[in-house]
Amino acid sequence: MIDQIKLMCFYGPESTGKSYLASKLAERYRTVFVPEVSRELITGNSFNREDIIAIGREQTKRVFTQAKVANRILFCDTDLITTQIYSREYLKVVPPVLYEFEKMVAYDLYFFFDIDVPWVSDGVRDLGSDENRKRMHAVFKDELDRRGIRYISVRGNWEQREKIVTQAIDLILSK
């Protein structure tokens, strides 16, 4: 079933519009999306190894669950590379099982969100300084480059970001 759906990954540092656009575009394309499940499982940046494994397991499970009800395309607000990045950032270690979860889902396309929009505090985000945003953007990019993952850069204001993504999606769906 999952191989009949086009999987789109919205990827990048915090506060770049991924969640907003995943929800909005799921509605536009009459489909569903996979939220960032860490927001459901933890309430702050105080978590442990078991928590991060539970996040990775549930994020992966949600992709398979939502693919069963998706309409041609599934927007995923994050992936297991992101979970690994934040595990390394906060716990200074990546449990090996997160790499196994990563291998379970192959995205058709990554959209890499830039940090050129204002950072917005939400009570959980804590990497909003210019220095942290630039550092995390580089970390996210390095992980894609290291894996040889092709991506489309998403930048500009909210309207421009939506246009970049919808143009790519419309092209994919027209094939």
Task: Name the residue ranges covered by the structural domains of the chain.
Answer: 2-174
pLDDT band at 47 (very low <50, low <70, confident <90, very high): confident
Domain 2-174 has CATH 3.90.25.10: no
Report how far apart, in Å, the C-alpha atoms of 13 and of each of 7, 61, 171, 172 are: 19, 22, 26, 25
Q: Is residue 128 very low, low, confident or very high in pLDDT (cuts 50, 70, 90)?
A: low
Contact 82, 17 (CB under 8 A): no
pTM reported for the whole predicted model: 0.92
How far apart CA 6 and CA 168 sit, in angstroms, is: 12
Distance (Å, whole) CA 39 – CA 32? 18
Q: Which of 22-36, 97-111, 118-132, 158-172 has the lowest mean pLDDT?
A: 118-132
In this structure, are residues 7 and 74 in contact, taking their beta carbons and an 8 Å threshold? yes
pLDDT digits (tens, 9 = 90+) for 96-109: 999 999 999 999 99
- pLDDT score, position 93: 95
* pLDDT > 90? residue 127: no
Please check the confidence at residue 174 and state whether its pLDDT lies above 80: yes
Residue 41 has pLDDT above 70, yes or no: yes
Mean pLDDT over each residue of the chain, to the nearest integer = 91
Quick count: other Cβ atoms within 10 Å of Cβ 5? 20
Judge contact between 97 and 106, C-beta under 8 A.
no
Is residue 144 within 8 A of residue 136, CB to CB? The reply is: no
**Percent of the chain beyond pLDDT 70?**
91
pLDDT tens string 70-84: 999 999 999 999 999
Q: What is the mean pLDDT of residues 112-123?
A: 78
Residue 55 has pLDDT above 70, yes or no: yes
